Each structure stands twice: as C-alpha cells, then as structure tokens.
Amino acid sequence: MVETTKSVDIEVSDASALIKTAIREKRYLERHGEGCPHCGPKADIDGGPLTVDSGECSQLITCMECAESWYDIYKLTGIEEQAT
C-alpha cells in the first residue's frame, strides 16, 4: 500500500520562522510592495507618513485585512533633475 502524505503539525522553530519571514519578504519585494506580505497581494493597505534619514526612507504600513503592520524601506537610488 502506498503511504499517503498527510499534513503534520510541526512545531515552529526559530529557524523555520525566519525562513517563512524571508520568503514572505522576498515575495512582497518581487511584487514591488503590492498588498500585504502576510495575507497576499489583494489586501487593502494603509501607509503612514514617510521618514527620511541619510539616503533611506521608511514608511509604516498597516494591512486593513489582517491588521499586521511593517515598515517599507526605500533607498535613494538617484536623482532626477527638475525641468526648468
């Protein structure tokens, strides 16, 4: 008889929690900050004011679906001359 795969409750270790966090972040970055890293790209999010500090900028984001919050981090990558 073929053994079937069934779901098993796995105790979440620190290592697997870190991996899950890294995967969530990677997917969120791949879709350029669309939606929520926790509940998906369709989630409605709310952004706070931008905080700028030496070439970096952060913004507190809150998900309206799951109530998780996180900081989006932006880095200065260039300038665009203003048309005169």
CB of 47 to Zn ion, least distance (A): 13
**CA pair distance 40, 35, nearest whole angstrom:** 6
27 binding Zn ion? (CB under 5 A): no
Cα dihedral sign for 23, 25, 31, 34?
positive
Cα–Cα distances in angstroms (integers) from residue 83 to residues 32, 33, 76, 80, in the given order: 28, 29, 20, 9
Of 34 and 56, which CB lies nearer to Zn ion in the complex structure? 34
Residues 33 to 52 in contact with Zn ion, rule: CB under 5 A: 36, 38-39, 43
CB of 43 to Zn ion, least distance (A): 4
Residues that bind Zn ion in the complex, under the rule CB under 5 A: 36, 38-39, 43, 63, 65-66
